[in-house]
Amino acid sequence: MEADPQTRPGKSPRSVTAAEKEQARAVSLRRIGRLFTPYARPLTIVVATIVASSVVALASPFLLRAVIDDALPAQDVVLLAWLAAGMVAVAAVTAVLGVVQTWLSTRIGQQVMHRLRTDVFAHLQRQSLAFFTRTRTGEVQSRITNDIGGMQSVVTSTATAVAANLTTVIATAAAMAALSWQLSLITLVVMPPAVWATRRVAGMRRAITARQQRELADLNVTVEEGLSVSGIQLSKTLGAGPAVVERFTASSERLIDLELRSQLAGRWRMASMSVLFAAVPAVIYLGAGLVPGTMTIGTLVAFTTLQAGLFRPLMGLLNVGVSIVSSLALFARIFEYLDLPVEVDDPEHPVEVDPARVRGHVRLEDVTFTYPGSDVAAVAGVTLDVPAGTTLALVGETGSGKTTLAGLVARLHDPDAGRVTIDGVDLRDMRLADLAAVVGVVSQETYLLHTTVRENLRYARPDATDAEIEDAARAAQVHDLIAALPEGYDTVVGSRGHRFSGGEKQRLAIARTLLRDPRVLVLDEATSALDTETERAVQRAFDAVAAGRTTITIAHRLSTVRAADRIAVVDHGRVAESGTHDDLVAGGGRYAALAA
Ligand SMILES: Nc1ncnc2c1ncn2[C@@H]1O[C@H](COP(=O)(O)OP(=O)(O)OP(=O)(O)O)[C@@H](O)[C@H]1O
Ligand SMILES: [Mg+2]
């Protein structure tokens, strides 16, 4: 089954949607249980502390009754002192139990969350490039931070609250019945409508909060799109600034209204609660007067105390459904990510390849590839032979499929038909780690990490020495540039390397690739126009890396093309013609027209 996260934006755990109910139904409870099996013992202790503290807390009303009915009328100071001490002790014991319980449940929650977070991260890291192109930016990040972050609250709040509320409700009800069954009956009549009313008001509030959160999320997207480096570039160059501001203003305006309604609903909720908290005991006092027989004042006070303590856990239990559905939906979303099939995966029975001894003979045999969701093949029936140590230049119009072809050689995608081989071994039979050691890629758009230049280069080979890094930079014609930076190799590249020009970034990427010393090199020349000086530097860098390797260059510059052993002209995903520069010029075809 193909999971498409794009259609499922992250939901706030406060509202339950139909989609979430669906997800919750699908999730396997056993699988959730398995996550917690390593923590069976601490979990048992958590449950024990919850039960213990609810039972201990029940002693309070009985102590209160003894104070009112026995100690005070009899003026028995010793008994009174004991009872008072008992009340303090009950509070202290429940407090300590609460601390222990919070400590344990937070620890369990954090550990489960840590495991899921690392599992999801590692699994997503194995996903193919196609997965990331079709998944909305931010979606993946949101899953890792929000959904898995929500885990902690599932364990520490939802699970413990359910257990605590349940024990409190049962224990309190038992104690109430023990004190007076008649008053318990009255409570049974009065409580349900009170609870119902409170829930209605709370429900309204929740609906508003949910809308508010959606609106806030929209606002965040606008901020992200409007105030990031790339977003600002886009809006400035497209003159979309006013539209972005307008959208932001409208979103912000809707938030005013929502916040107002949310505050009012909150106020209403508080008001209805306080009326109920006064009304229910009042009805019970009234009932006590109607109950025939003797009812001590102590019993009545103890009873109303218990009753007041019943309200919150009862409400909590009634809301359990919502929390459970959203918790299950949370797990479902996380599991969905963990279950995503890995499209480009390590082979089950890899062919043994020694990256150090690979010669680097690259062949594409009748390769066809269509991007998922697209109905035109980006590469169709391409056959290319690049003997070890030679250079192939790919030329062609924009969108003709050159980058896609290069991606196939690096196994960023798997062909739908045909095969790509290196030294006769199908890439799909090679370990991904071996392939990465054999094929190096300098892509069209260079991605630099937000760290120092040195660390960016070392990312390619963590054990590279400073001297090796500088040698690579020299060969890539970028050493002088780096040396001239304020802090040299320790200069932090700006967000995504925006402080470097396209040509500079690409030379940094070449240096990075040189450190890996791959047998097969795929170079996707930056399309941005370079001044002659830079172009010459990039050309020298390309020549330096190409020496002694099989090189496939996507060339936009004639100088690169001419130097190649062979040239292939790509057109609409097909190889229109190929040969040496002289052959092609003599042939008088498309290349001849381009080169003229
Ligand atoms: N992730 C993707 N999903 C769907 N279609 C894609 C994707 N990437 C590229 N394409 C399409 O595949 C075709 C080939 O794209 P490719 O990037 O290989 O072109 P190119 O020759 O490298 O162009 P340029 O010279 O502009 O870099 C284009 O029509 C493009 O729209
Ligand atoms: Mg391209």
State the distance from the centre of ligand 1 to the C-alpha of 173, rounded, in angstroms: 68
Q: What is the pLDDT of residues 96-137, one digit of tens each?
A: 998 998 898 888 888 888 888 899 889 988 888 878 877 777
Question: Are 373 and 134 spatial neighbours (Cβ–Cβ below 8 Å)?
Answer: yes
Closest CA to ligand 1's atom 25 = 398
Q: Say yes or no: CB of residue 237 within 6 Å of ligand 1.
A: no
**SS3 per-residue string spanning 407-455:** HHHCCCCCCCEEEEEECCEEHHHCCHHHHHHHEEEECCCCCCCCCEHHH
d(CA 576, CA 2): 35
CA distance 352 to 344: 18
496-514 exposure pattern, b = at least 16 Cβ within 10 A, e = fewer = bbeebbbbbbbbbbbbbbb
pLDDT higher than 50, residue 540 = yes
- Ligand 2 centroid vs 584 CA: distance in angstroms? 22
Report the nearest atom of ligand 1 relative to the CA of 396. Answer: 21
Query: What is the DSSP-derived secondary structure letter of residue 146?
Result: I
Does residue 151 carry a pLDDT above 80?
no
Give the number of whichever ligand sits closest to the CA of residue 570. 1
Name the β-bridge partners of 392.
552, 566
Q: Which atom of ligand 1 is nearest to the CA of 570?
A: 21
Write the residue with the smallest CA distance to atom 27 of ligand 1.
Answer: 398
Tell me which residue has tokens 């520490």.
156
Give yes or no for residue 372 CB within 6 A of ligand 1: no
Q: To test ligand 1's pocket by mutation, which of 134, 402, 571, 575 has the most ligand atoms within 8 angstroms of CB? A: 402
Q: Is the CB of 398 under 6 A from ligand 1?
A: yes
Whether 14 and 206 have beta carbons less than 8 Å apart is answered as yes
Checking if the pLDDT of 16 tops 80, the result is: no
**Cα–Cα distances in angstroms (integers) from residue 270 to residues 201, 208, 258, 310, 330, in the given order:** 9, 16, 18, 17, 30
- Nearest residue CA, atom 4 of ligand 1? 371
C-alpha span between 437 and 356 (Å, rounded): 9
Give residue 7's identity as a one-letter amino acid code.
T
Q: What is the pLDDT of residues 320-368, one digit of tens each?
A: 777 778 788 888 888 888 888 888 888 888 898 888 889 999 999 999 9
Q: Ligand nearest 396 Cα, by number?
A: 1
Q: Which two tokens stand for residue 181?
A: 């069954």
How high is the pLDDT of residue 526? 67
- Report whether pLDDT(14) > 50: no
C-beta 321 within 6 A of ligand 1: no
Q: Which of 367, 394, 400, 561 maximizes ligand 1 atoms within 8 Å of its Cβ, making it the mutation to test the pocket?
A: 400
- The pLDDT of residue 569 is 93
| C-alpha 290: how far from chain center | 61
Q: Does 69 or 556 have the greater pLDDT score?
A: 69
- Whether residue 161 has pLDDT greater than 70: yes
Count how many residues are written for the chain. Answer: 596
| Residue 566 beta carbon below 6 angstroms from any ligand 1 atom | no
Cβ(374) – ligand 1 distance below 6 Å? yes
Comparing 278-282, 454-458, 540-544, 568-572, which segment has the lowest mean pLDDT? 540-544
The finding on whether 401 has its CB within 6 A of some atom of ligand 1 is yes
Residue 478: phi and psi, rounded to 5, are -125, 0
Pocket test for ligand 1, best of 128, 132, 403, 522 (most atoms within 8 A of CB): 403
User: Under a CB-based contact definition with an 8 Å cutoff, are residues 490 and 535 in contact?
Assistant: no
Residue (of 141, 105, 143) closest to 332 by Cα position: 143
Banded model confidence at residue 530, pLDDT cuts 50, 70, 90: low
Per-residue model confidence (pLDDT) at position 377: 92
Percent of the chain with pLDDT over 70: 94
Distance of CA 326 to the CA centre of its chain: 17
DSSP single-letter state for residue 492:
B
- Cβ–ligand 1 distance for 395 under 6 Å, the answer no
Name the residue of 371, 443, 528 to mutate for ligand 1: max ligand atoms within 8 A of Cβ. 371
Round to whole Å and give the CA distance between 140 and 116: 14
> What distance in Å separates the CA atoms of residue 538 and residue 25, rounded to the nearest whole number?
57
Residue 269's pLDDT is what? 79
- Which of 134, 394, 404, 443 has the most ligand 1 atoms within 8 A of CB, as the residue to mutate? 404
pLDDT at 206 over 90: no
62: number of Cβ within 10 Å: 20
Residue 133 beta carbon below 6 angstroms from any ligand 1 atom? yes
Q: Cα(131) to centroid of ligand 2, in Å?
A: 18
Beta bridge partners of 550: 520
What DSSP string runs through 228-275? Answer: SHHHHHHHHHHT-HHHHHHHHHHHHHHHHHHHHHHHHHHHHHHHHHHH
Residue bearing the CA closest to ligand 1, atom 11? 378
The pTM for the full model equals 0.67
Contact present, 592 and 580 (Cβ < 8 Å): no
Q: Which two tokens stand for residue 416?
A: 């739908």
Task: Determine the distance separating the centroid of ligand 1 and the alpha carbon of 404, expressed in angstroms.
Answer: 6
Q: Is the pLDDT assigned to residue 572 strictly greater than 80? A: yes
Give 123 Cα–ligand 1 centroid separation in angstroms.
Answer: 26
Predicted pLDDT at 11: 34
For β-strands 520-524 and 550-554, DSSP reports them as parallel
| Interval between CA 508 and ligand 2 midpoint (Å) | 19
Using a CB cutoff of 8 Å and minimum separation of 24, what contacts does 423-430 make? Answer: 423/353, 423/358, 423/359, 423/360, 423/361, 423/388, 424/361, 424/363, 425/351, 425/353, 428/347, 429/347, 429/349, 429/350, 429/351, 430/347, 430/350, 430/351, 430/353
Measured in Å, residue 140 CA sits from the centre of ligand 2 at 25
Token code pair at residue 574: 């097909």
List of domains in the chain: 1-180+298-343 (1.20.1560.10), 355-595 (3.40.50.300)
Phi, psi (deg, nearest 5) at residue 554: -90, 110
- The C-alpha atoms of residue 62 and residue 96 are separated, in whole angstroms, by 21
**Ligand 1, from 374, 525, 594: best to mutate by most atoms within 8 Å of Cβ?**
374
The confidence band for 596, taking pLDDT boundaries of 50, 70 and 90, is low
Residue 468: what are its φ and ψ, rounded to 5°? -65, -40
The mean of the pLDDT values for the chain is 84
Q: Is 129 in the pocket of ligand 1 (CB under 6 A)?
A: no
Q: What is the pLDDT of residues 396-425, one digit of tens each?
A: 888 999 999 999 999 988 999 999 999 999
